[in-house]
Structure 1
Amino acid sequence: MVREDRPGVKQLVGYAVPAAGAELDTEELRRWAGDRLPDYMVPRPIIALDTLPLTTNGKVDQKALPAQRRSSSVSSSAPAAGTA
């Protein structure tokens, strides 16, 4: 998703929810995406979430997604998570 957290600065941000019981290695996920996507489509920050916020209609509530944190990496082993 493209975010503009600072006026005039747009950035592609990825959000991922790890599989139940798994931890998420955001660097590994970024490498995995980089092997499959053009560089401009790979989000630099990937933010791990417990769950994606949903609207009452069951769609992802983009306004409720958190802004980028300074450190968005969490060490783990499996990149088996979806991004939004």
Structure 2
Amino acid sequence: MFGANIHRHGLKDVRLHELRNTWATPAFQVGVPVKVVQGRSGHADPSIARDIYAHALPGMQAHAAEQVAALFGRHDPVASSVATWI
């Protein structure tokens, strides 16, 4: 049934497991909490989901720096650009 549905929508052959990866990485990019990603991806431990899907996402350091700066009512583009290199 899964295979028939992906072909009907014009998608290439993909395993159901691969869709988990396709969902989890962008979920981390938009700030979905690790516990939610862990639960939806079926991993036994949140650290597994974090280690697999969130280890190399560009922009996450800058986004984190901007979020913390916003807590203090400021935007610091220098901190954001430096954070991307960390």
TM-score for the superposition, normalised by structure 1: 0.25
Structure showing greater relative contact order (alpha-carbon pairs closer than 8 Å, 6 or more residues apart): 1
TM-score for the superposition, normalised by structure 2: 0.24
Query: Which structure has more strand as a fraction of its residues?
Result: 1
Pick the structure with greater CA Rg.
2
